[in-house]
Structure 1
């Protein structure tokens, strides 16, 4: 039994992580928090002062000497004092609310920024894990306003405790048992709320995947990404019914928990009310019997309900504090996610020479949470200034290889070197500046056309000439210059005055993005899949001129895209089966010759 109690206490203290929350708010708005505390103290002092001034006023009136001509002056003096203190209390309360609002805004902005910075710092593997999205969903559900709410609730509890101490001291003069009895009557409600706060949190964690699934279905039904297919295949009603089924299931289970909590609170609050009136009855009977004075009963009837309200407010504040802290733990769960650091990781400076080969030596890679390797014993070289092509059927491991070359993942075995330096020894950002990819699933940014291109190297000084040059090399200039505002034109339809373009034109902007960068190595992962045959031929027939003296890796299913490469690797089942020039591979028996000697509409 003792162990069970200690475990419950440990769980309560773990969930009620006030120190971490306080440090978070201090980092976000230290000055405003201190100011807020000062104003709440001032508010409390003024409140107590006004009550005390009224007490003195009542005492003066009760002992007034009507024959004394100065009595009116004394009464007015204390009325004015009480009024000034009351006005001061109202002003302090208003200022306190204003400061709390500013503080809440600062904390909310700080948490939003920290969520974004945390997401930016995490390795790509997190974004390919459902667990990460569950953590992120709970952190966002917790909201950026809760940490500040916890601190303000703590201050409110402290203020109510001070007020209760002042008011309670008067009750002690009547009967010292009454106030402790009130606390005992209110405690069951507090315990019930904490119990169900824990239950609610467990329910929330358990149902996070369902909540995310319903959010995904809602996004499918309302976004432009899937709008065409939903209408073309008549999927609207089906997806909407799936959404409603999940929402009904979540709603019913949540309602069941709320029903149990409500019943429990009805019982405990009824007990508290019964206790409250039992105390009143006790004093009333004492008055009838002559053990309690009429003055005591008058004072009791004024003060006692206020004490009961303060105790309820304190109890409610503690339960709100606990409930919000449970949610805040989800925010800290996200912030505590770490990117794994390898022992080799250091800050070696990037070599300035342009003649650096990028090489994979005996590289093997297995995705996290997978037992089957995606790549095995890969040996591949990308010499400086050369064009390398990688060919393979779907599922061969080409996209994974690209992620390794971009240092989005690190090999489990083997090494990747740039100029004989293991890339793990180079700063991630410095290395990634040397590699500019055009991914098969490239992003379509709803920003201006020039920003779509500048994103290839956002730290590079703005140069309209360089933007236009990259655009011309990719083939995007011909349609961008037709826009009313040309390169200042907003792309996409999400925002006002936006211009939607074809998927092939979006892909040309993505290619321009890579060409705009100062990277030594360009990676084209099916980068021309959406281009028409003429545009693709124009790009690759003059590809060497377009990329200048940089290295390039081309991944494609089309012979026209890879036949001009200096060297070609054939990837199958996560291993390299063949390598050589286009002519050499066509004359060999193997996958390459089968793909490109045999007529195949998909190639």
Structure 2
């Protein structure tokens, strides 16, 4: 049974053209990226747009002059004797003008190509920065939703992959001016030529629009599979997974899964490509038939004397160019509409708004914290989840107190920390800080007063110094502060062994990077919390990858550093949590017991049971 939803039909005609509403905001993005380059590109294209009709007109004049001169008595000395005579003066002028237009067209084309390349680069940079900036302001809940990840993936692809739309739109404008100039010439001779041309090309335009919509529909439906393809490609050939893939022999499974998905993509695209090729051939034949009908009329008019040979050349050339231009223009509009469908992914992402916002008049975060945090009947469940992650949480975290959270997996410990840092807001109850609801503070300022290290911390492919500095990135240039944070976490001895010290690149993603052990990475991550020098310290399983000696050293440092600060510690190791002033035992998202280590061990309950189970493992 397929893991993915049934295919949706491609967007209807109205939906496809409604997507053109994304073109004006896209052009505003282009303007903001580089107004100077955009204006220069428009001027260059306007100049190029008028060259084709001017060149054709000079061609007509040249042919008519040649016909006129050929009827005159030839001078002695052959064809070269005409050079420099008064009769050939206009002819030489027209040829020189046509030559100058050819040179100018080439120069304008090269200059325009350069400007468009630079404009596209500026736009890609600008849109990528905007995407990252917008993503940074969204709620954590969004990033933990698979549907949002699909939307983010599509937006990320469009921010870098659809920027060629700039050139397409500008080319459409240029071609529209050229078409108008050429069509004006045809209208003078016979307006029905324009009607015949458009009637022959409209079916090709509608067909192209239909197949572009089908391609977009396919890409949209298969975003989850595309993400899986990217994941399989990276997983099958990554330094992070190489050991397990070899040990478990996973390569054939990963390759076969990739091949199966990619073959499915190929078959779907092949069906669209074959249909496009078939109907494209038919529509192209209609366009060719229209051209030759017009051509027959031109020949007949020339034979009857209504047109000169120069007129025939001008009209034939204009009609042939118009056929190509109008076909390209209609196709271009179709492609632009298709690209606008993709732009919907980008602008749709920009329309996503966070729900956790700062109040109009945020209170300053207290420094120092005087009373502490108070949970009052707090309940929360993750979006889309059936059950509650935590419910009826009521307890106090006093200012300057070290509180340990203990419980089995899924008890709600990490969720409680996320609520405390306001990465989520409670669905029930409230959390108070010094008598004020957390919603009364600016979330960024509140998090800036906290040092939080989660168990699944990020291993940045940065230098060792920058891996610590991310804890307070604005102090990245403060080498003494970075060294001090490293010393407090015990990471200084790791850095001393690195060939380039704090400048050493870490990880295997980039050249000359050095990989660390899990415990070494963890000490660097803990140094980030010390880098912040904050009011509240939160460590979520900070020593999971450390040996017993390193764990003891970390907690000794943590005990010294948290003196006078409010601290929350999550750990499964009871040798660690016993240093806390108070311990909160969680079960099923609720507070089951609270007290010191000695108080909890002295009475029957989950804490004493878990402590005994862990202690038995060391006997």
User: Do they fold alike, i.e. is TM over 0.5?
Assistant: yes
- Residues 87 and 356 (structure 1), Cα distance of their counterparts in 2 relative to 1, 3 Å cut: farther
Match of 2:542 in 1: 527
- CA apart distance, 1:290: 7.4
Given that 2:50 and 2:181 are in contact with CA atoms closer than 8 Å, whether structure 1 keeps it comes out as no
Q: How many residues align?
A: 596
What whole-Å deviation, never above 9, does each CA across 1:198-241 have from its counterpart, x for those lacking one? 22222221111111111111111122222221111111111111
Match of 2:355 in 1: 340
Please give the TM-score of this superposition, normalised by the length of structure 2. Answer: 0.90
| Paired residues for 1:34-73 under 5 Å | 34-63=39-68, 69-73=85-89
Bigger mean CA deviation after superposition, 306-315 or 32-41: 306-315
Which one of the candidate residues 406, 410, 419 is aligned to 1:395?
Answer: 410
SS in 2 for 1:144: helix
Match of 2:78 in 1: none
Match of 2:366 in 1: 351
Instruction: Supply the distance in 2 between the matched residues of 1:554 and 1:61 (Cα, whole angstroms).
Output: 95
- CA apart distance, 1:197: 1.5
What whole-Å deviation, never above 9, does each CA across 1:72-93 have from its counterpart, x for those lacking one? 4443333333333332232222
Match of 1:408 in 2: 423
Given that 1:15 and 1:329 are in contact with CA atoms closer than 8 Å, whether structure 2 keeps it comes out as no
Instruction: Supply the distance in 1 between the matched residues of 2:301 and 2:88 (Cα, whole angstroms).
Output: 36
Match of 1:515 in 2: 530
Given that 1:28 and 1:107 are in contact with CA atoms closer than 8 Å, whether structure 2 keeps it comes out as yes
- CA apart distance, 1:525: 0.8
Instruction: Supply the distance in 2 between the matched residues of 1:180 and 1:601 (Cα, whole angstroms).
Output: 89
- Residues 105 and 130 (structure 1), Cα distance of their counterparts in 2 relative to 1, 3 Å cut: same
2:129 is equivalent to residue 113 of structure 1: yes
- Residues 561 and 139 (structure 1), Cα distance of their counterparts in 2 relative to 1, 3 Å cut: same
C-alpha RMSD of the superposition: 2.5
Match of 1:555 in 2: 570
- CA apart distance, 1:298: 4.4
Instruction: Supply the distance in 2 between the matched residues of 1:23 and 1:195 (Cα, whole angstroms).
Output: 28
Instruction: Supply the distance in 1 between the matched residues of 2:298 and 2:345 (Cα, whole angstroms).
Output: 48
Instruction: Supply the distance in 2 between the matched residues of 1:73 and 1:294 (Cα, whole angstroms).
Output: 20
Instruction: Supply the distance in 2 between the matched residues of 1:541 and 1:307 (Cα, whole angstroms).
Output: 81
Instruction: Supply the distance in 1 between the matched residues of 2:170 and 2:578 (Cα, whole angstroms).
Output: 72
2:440 is equivalent to residue 425 of structure 1: yes
Instruction: Supply the distance in 2 between the matched residues of 1:87 and 1:145 (Cα, whole angstroms).
Output: 33
Bigger mean CA deviation after superposition, 562-571 or 382-391: 382-391
Match of 2:97 in 1: 81
Which one of the candidate residues 23, 29, 52 is aligned to 2:28?
Answer: 23
Which one of the candidate residues 140, 144, 149 is aligned to 1:133?
Answer: 149
2:211 is equivalent to residue 190 of structure 1: no
What whole-Å deviation, never above 9, does each CA across 1:558-581 have from its counterpart, x for those lacking one? 111011110010000000010011
- Residues 486 and 547 (structure 1), Cα distance of their counterparts in 2 relative to 1, 3 Å cut: farther
Please give the TM-score of this superposition, normalised by the length of structure 1. Answer: 0.92
Instruction: Supply the distance in 2 between the matched residues of 1:302 and 1:380 (Cα, whole angstroms).
Output: 85
Given that 1:174 and 1:296 are in contact with CA atoms closer than 8 Å, whether structure 2 keeps it comes out as no
- CA apart distance, 1:595: 0.8
Q: Which residues of structure 1 form unaligned runs of 5+? A: 1-6
Q: Which residues of structure 2 form unaligned runs of 5+? A: 1-11, 76-83
Given that 2:209 and 2:331 are in contact with CA atoms closer than 8 Å, whether structure 1 keeps it comes out as no
- Residues 238 and 9 (structure 1), Cα distance of their counterparts in 2 relative to 1, 3 Å cut: closer
Bigger mean CA deviation after superposition, 48-57 or 502-511: 48-57
Given that 1:283 and 1:297 are in contact with CA atoms closer than 8 Å, whether structure 2 keeps it comes out as yes
- CA apart distance, 1:474: 1.3
Instruction: Supply the distance in 1 between the matched residues of 2:519 and 2:480 (Cα, whole angstroms).
Output: 23
SS in 1 for 2:385: coil
Match of 2:229 in 1: 214
Match of 1:487 in 2: 502
Instruction: Supply the distance in 2 between the matched residues of 1:295 and 1:80 (Cα, whole angstroms).
Output: 18
